[in-house]
Amino acid sequence: MTATYNEQCFCFYCSRVIVTRPKRPHRLIHRVSGQTYLWLATLIFAASGAVTRRLTEIGAEHFIGERNPISLCNVLFVGNLCALILLILIYGRQWNKATLKQLSRTDWVSLTAVAILSGALAPGLIFQALSVTGVNNVILVGRLEPPLTLALSVWLLRERVNIWEFIGAIAAFAGVILTIILQPPTEAMMNMGGFSLGIGELLAAVGSIAATASTIIGKKYLSQIPLGIYSIFRTALGTIIFFFIALVLYGKDHFADVLSPFLWQWMFLYGGLIVVLGQSFLIKGLKTSTVSTASLIGSFGPIVGILAAYLILGEAPTLPQYIGGSVILVGIFLSQVGNWRKTSSIASGKVSSIPAQQQVETDMGFKGL
């Protein structure tokens, strides 16, 4: 007699009770499920740049007066509001008096700095870059963030890296530089001592530097902060700061069309797909995957993003982008070899911390908000 489902059964052959355990799902089921969610999140986020540009083109065909109702600022502002609603629904319970009382003044200062850098400054610069240069340039120049994060982690946080990660970071950095300096002359360039630099590429680079600084602060000071408090505070304060910065830079009428039905018609699609589904898949995938797995899947973001730019916008890669992108891909491959060789990977189910999410977001690149 076999004992498969019952916890106890009587065996007639040996006249004793056999205690058994119910079968548990194999770990591979959870692992595959987590990887599937991460792949879906990567696909969605990688296409966000092309989708954002396409939305602004649609808005340009339906001006309200002399204004584009689907301006990049409106997309970022309303998109952040959608993200904030989602995060409150998921993590709202973490905002209780008992948890908030445990946060020190240093924690709040660090949270504020992260909100300014990654919640307002970095996305604002990247969105502005999208308005003056190609989506592929923004994607490739955005790959400046992983090597900068690695270098500052070694320098400031004394993290240890292996030779593969080091060489991969150098290759990725070199690829970004090649992408920038090989750009053909255009009107959207500034002359710096005889050297021409694209304004869009410069904005994307500064945005990556701001995101890197935010990641370092998060790793050093916020590793023990609940993820819900971190995410909600960063999104809420970042949205408010971005709103007032835009008002100062562009005037009080800049958000005049933020309540336009035409804008919200498209933002429900954008917010539902890029923000709600993307964030939900990312959070779900991080809960059941290792950091190394999430990092590997996220590293495919640039390839998917370039394909999305071609399919959605018809933006084919240029020769400088092919050259720089190829070197960047070599760097990504070498960095992943370094990740595989690490023996201190975080176990499955323990990657929902702030540093882990920051690491995966860094590998994925621009996420549309």
Convert the pLDDT of each residue in 165-196 to its tens digit. Answer: 899 999 999 999 999 888 887 766 766 555 56
pLDDT value for 192: 59
pLDDT value for 368: 66
Q: Is 157 exposed, middle or buried (0-12, 13-18, 19+ CB in 10 A)?
A: exposed
pLDDT band at 124 (very low <50, low <70, confident <90, very high): very high
User: What is the rounded average pLDDT for all residues in the chain?
Assistant: 83
pLDDT tens profile 109-123: 999 999 999 999 999
CA dihedral 93, 96, 102, 103 (to 10 degrees): 80
SS3 352: coil
H-run or E-run covering 243: helix 227-250
Q: Does residue 72 register a pLDDT over 80? A: yes
pLDDT value for 286: 79
pLDDT tens profile 222-248: 988 888 899 899 999 999 999 999 999
17 or 79: which leads in pLDDT:
79
pLDDT value for 195: 57
Look at strands 189-192 and 195-198 and give their pairing.
antiparallel
Q: Where are the domains of the chain?
A: 31-364
Phi and psi at residue 160, in whole multiples of 5°? Answer: -100, 135
Q: Does residue 28 register a pLDDT over 60? A: no
- CA dist 239 to 11, 92, 210, 233, Å? 66, 18, 16, 10
As a whole number of Å, the CA-based R_g of the chain is 23
* Amino acid at the residue 165: E
pLDDT tens profile 144-160: 999 999 899 999 988 88
Look at strands 8-11 and 195-198 and give their pairing.
unpaired
Instruction: Supply 55's token pair.
Output: 């939305």
Q: Does residue 342 register a pLDDT over 80? A: no
Give 142's DSSP letter.
G
Instruction: Supply 42's token pair.
Output: 């990567």
Mean pLDDT to the nearest integer, 215-223: 90
Closest to 50 (Cα-Cα) out of 301, 326, 358: 301
pLDDT band at 2 (very low <50, low <70, confident <90, very high): very low
Phi and psi at residue 11, in whole multiples of 5°? Answer: -95, 120
DSSP 69-89: TT-HHHHHHHHHHHHHHHHHH
